[in-house]
Chain A
Amino acid sequence: MGGVNVRELTGRNNPLAEGHRMCPGCGAPTALRQAFMGIDDPVVVVGATGCLEVSTTVYPYSSWRVPFMHVAFENAGAAVSGVAAAHKAMGRRGLFRDGIKFVAFGGDGGTYDIGLQSLSGALERGHDFTYICYNNQGYMNTGAQRSGATPRSASSTTSPAGRLIPGKLQRAKNLTEIAAAHDIPYVAQTTLHDPSDLIKKVRRAVETPGPAFVNILVPCALFWKIDPADQVKICRLAADSRFWPIYEVANGERRISYTPKKPVPVEDFLRAQGRYSHLFTDEANRRDLIDQAQADVDAEWEKLTGNAKPQS
């Protein structure tokens, strides 16, 4: 895999036109822009219901300079299967261009939760497509509810921090590993800490024949309660604290893409976000949950590195 010249790639026409209605500071359009820098071929995009879909397709306008289809919430995996199959069948009749890449986007709601069955089916069947989850760890389109991707102790509108319950009680499920368990050719996890990492991973995903899955942690400034200008800073904290390990699974082999030399305490990542502010108002009382967050991160890292080789 060759190097990536991000400066050069920023001159490229972004398939997502300016003027879309995503919020300031939202990580999804940033992730998308970087993802498209990794795709050289013509592309057809399928989107699950979510912020990205509603904010980029407000009729009679569309932000998409490439073909785009949204069917419903829970079925982007099935929808992209149908499109890829149609391309194969009609290609045999000499219709449409060769070498089109098929990319599905879903938030964590459409991917971790309601769309998991459809995604699993598509991965198992082995269609040639890339599924990109823009994961802001909750249901943002409906107003910051908890999802299966919401981490422990985060306060959401359906797991609010109250006098009795301190935010979400459960850990996030590990969807990247669930995808990898399908034994598909390529699975990756990244965030917005380093554009070249995201671009390289998406490039590898779309260029690998067969299904590929990329899980990208992106901040939602409204849910995470961060300054919109801190989008990249918070993603670096996620990577540097090992809260969100940066790695890939290529043909079954795990490889850590980024190992922080001196990991920062996860407390720094939590403290930077308003969704965890209830842990810090009376620190003496909720030290247990901060320690629990660190223990969760350490356990996940150990599980991962036990399986993974550091990047050579």
Chain B
Amino acid sequence: MGSAEAVLFEDKRLRREMTSGNMAFAEAMRQINPDVVAAYPITPSTEIPMKFAEFVANGLVDTEYITVESEHSAITACVGASVSGARVMTASSANGVALMHEIFPIAAAFRAPIVFGLVNRSLGAPVNINCDHSDSMPERDSGWIQIYCEDAQEVYDTALLSIRLAEHKDVLTPIFVCQDGFITSHCYEPVEFLSDEAVKEFVGLREAVYPLLDVDNPVSYGSFVTSEYYFEIKRNQIEGMNNAIRVDGEISGDLARLTGREYPPLDCYRTDDADYVAVIMSSATGVVKDVADELRARGIKAGCIRVRMFRPFPSKEISAALSGKKGVAVLDRSASPGGVSPLAAEVKSALYMSCRDGFVPVFEFIYGLGGRDLFPDDVKAVFEKLRAGNCGCGASYIGLRDKMGGGD
């Protein structure tokens, strides 16, 4: 423990506990003490509304907790409360997220800064409760910021900074704080928590513009808007989203001063001098970093980029980080059947405008659907394919039971 850190612990500004991603998010909720939480249980995010119900039952928060009858009503109640001027949080997964879909673009267009713990789980069918990103990826065009966390610590930190990011006047956009179901949500690992006072001070109070509850200055939400005005309203919303990278940088900086942990939109690991880079998101990143270390020890210049912020997508940053590379592998934990997988599509698109500076071959891989693990040997094989330039068109599958790799 460094000396600055030791001071923080002595001040009781930090405490370290073994906890899980779900518990870390719930603890952040307790410390944030939102005005309203409306939630409906679904595996693997259920622990969040359960734990929060305990906080409510024991008087540890002042929150109005609405135990709705469905996810659709959960997100609707969140929108109603957020538009009213309240600070609002919720959580869900998989089919619950899908049931909410209709309301996500409405929340975004209302500029309702809801902070949402999205615990990634495969979207049925077949029914499977384990992790992939097929629940959050269909929401990538719903107008919500999407941040994918690698571990429970990042879940906690991101929950805190998301309150300020979502509510920032230049952003006013709801946020999905994504973590991998079971892998991150249920595994216990050490997490550093700020003191309640430090969190209170960091998140401050929401200052809502045009709150519905201001009966002396009545406003109408959810109007019928014709083509004469619709486009400008959507433009404003899109620009709010685009501002999030800049504002996230500012708020992350503030948080880093408290915690020492920095969260740029891309987590670039040994990429500066790398020839070959694998791009991935969330909890499986550690496997890729380990393999990069191992390959480096064998003289192969391998690196890893973890995309933390997926919406807005840090196109400029990733284009700069990948230009001049001999080969890039994009590892997607969801598919877009019949099209390019979500992360690969973004990476390729970002590189398009820099291809005049030299073509960077990008290859697509699909891994981990329905919670299948990603093993170091799988990642080594990916780098081998990159080095051989032997990846073909279309996506290759990683770690299937049968040997049909596809792609080639």
Interface residues of A (CB under 8 A from B): 42-44, 46-47, 53-54, 57-60, 62, 64-72, 74-75, 77-83, 85-90, 92-93, 95-97, 100, 117-118, 120-121, 124-125
Q: How far does the alpha carbon of A81 sit from the alpha carbon of B39 in the complex, in Å?
A: 12
CB nearest to B225 among chain A residues: A59
State the Cβ distance, B300 to closest chain A Cβ, in Å.
Answer: 53
Q: How far does the alpha carbon of A95 sit from the alpha carbon of B206 in the complex, in Å?
A: 12
Whether A121 lies near B225 (C-beta < 8 A) is no
Is B222's CB within 8 Å of the partner chain A? yes
Tell me which residues across on chain A come within 8 A of B278, comparing CB atoms: none
Q: How far does the alpha carbon of A113 sit from the alpha carbon of B168 in the complex, in Å?
A: 39
Partner of B80, one of A66, A80, A92: A80
Whether B66 lies near A81 (C-beta < 8 A) is yes
CB contact under 8 A between A58 and B79, given known A86-B85, A89-B64: no
Q: How far does the alpha carbon of A301 sit from the alpha carbon of B26 in the complex, in Å?
A: 53
CB nearest to B219 among chain A residues: A67
Is B158's CB within 8 Å of the partner chain A? no
Whether A67 lies near B213 (C-beta < 8 A) is yes
Q: How far does the alpha carbon of A59 sit from the alpha carbon of B229 in the complex, in Å?
A: 8
Partner of A96, one of B74, B81, B211: B211
Whether A67 lies near B218 (C-beta < 8 A) is yes
Whether A59 lies near B84 (C-beta < 8 A) is no
Interface size on B, residues (CB 8 A): 45
Whether B72 lies near A74 (C-beta < 8 A) is yes
Whether A86 lies near B64 (C-beta < 8 A) is yes
Q: How far does the alpha carbon of A85 sit from the alpha carbon of B80 in the complex, in Å?
A: 9
Closest 10 CB pairs of A and B: A82-B80, A121-B69, A70-B222, A82-B77, A78-B73, A86-B84, A86-B86, A78-B76, A62-B220, A82-B81
State the Cβ distance, B67 to closest chain A Cβ, in Å.
Answer: 7
14 sample A-B contacts, Cβ–Cβ < 8 Å, listed by A number = A44-B213, A53-B224, A58-B224, A59-B223, A65-B218, A67-B219, A70-B221, A82-B80, A85-B66, A86-B213, A88-B64, A95-B85, A96-B213, A120-B69
Whether A124 lies near B223 (C-beta < 8 A) is no
Tell me which residues across on chain A come within 8 A of B67, comparing CB atoms: 125
State the Cβ distance, B9 to closest chain A Cβ, in Å.
Answer: 32
Q: How far does the alpha carbon of A121 sit from the alpha carbon of B76 in the complex, in Å?
A: 12
Q: How far does the alpha carbon of A43 sit from the alpha carbon of B229 in the complex, in Å?
A: 28
Q: How far does the alpha carbon of A97 sit from the alpha carbon of B224 in the complex, in Å?
A: 28
CB contact under 8 A between A82 and B84, given known A57-B222, A71-B222: yes
Whether B80 lies near A69 (C-beta < 8 A) is yes
Whether B76 lies near A83 (C-beta < 8 A) is no
Tell me which residues across on chain B come within 8 A of A77, comparing CB atoms: 73
CB nearest to B222 among chain A residues: A70
Is B294's CB within 8 Å of the partner chain A? no
Whether A59 lies near B224 (C-beta < 8 A) is yes
State the Cβ distance, B172 to closest chain A Cβ, in Å.
Answer: 17
Interface residues of B (CB under 8 A from A): 35-36, 38, 62-64, 66-70, 72-74, 76-86, 88, 102-103, 106, 211-216, 218-226, 229
Tell me which residues across on chain B come within 8 A of A75, comparing CB atoms: 72-73, 76, 103
Q: How far does the alpha carbon of A117 sit from the alpha carbon of B35 in the complex, in Å?
A: 25
Contacts A44-B213, A57-B220, A90-B35 aside, 6 further interface pairs with beta carbons under 8 A come to A58-B224, A69-B220, A72-B106, A83-B83, A86-B84, A93-B62
CB nearest to B62 among chain A residues: A92
CB nearest to A74 among chain B residues: B72
Partner of B76, one of A60, A68, A72, A97: A72
CB nearest to B102 among chain A residues: A72
Tell me which residues across on chain B come within 8 A of A58, comparing CB atoms: 223-224, 226
Whether A90 lies near B68 (C-beta < 8 A) is no
Tell me which residues across on chain B come within 8 A of A89, comparing CB atoms: 35-36, 62-64, 81, 86
Partner of B222, one of A65, A69, A121: A69
Q: How far does the alpha carbon of A88 sit from the alpha carbon of B215 in the complex, in Å?
A: 15
CB contact under 8 A between A66 and B215, given known A75-B76, A79-B79, A89-B86: yes
State the Cβ distance, A11 to closest chain B Cβ, in Å.
Answer: 21
Partner of A86, one of B72, B74, B80, B224: B80
Centre residue among A47, A57, A75, A77 by max chain B CB count within 10 A: A75
Whether A69 lies near B221 (C-beta < 8 A) is yes
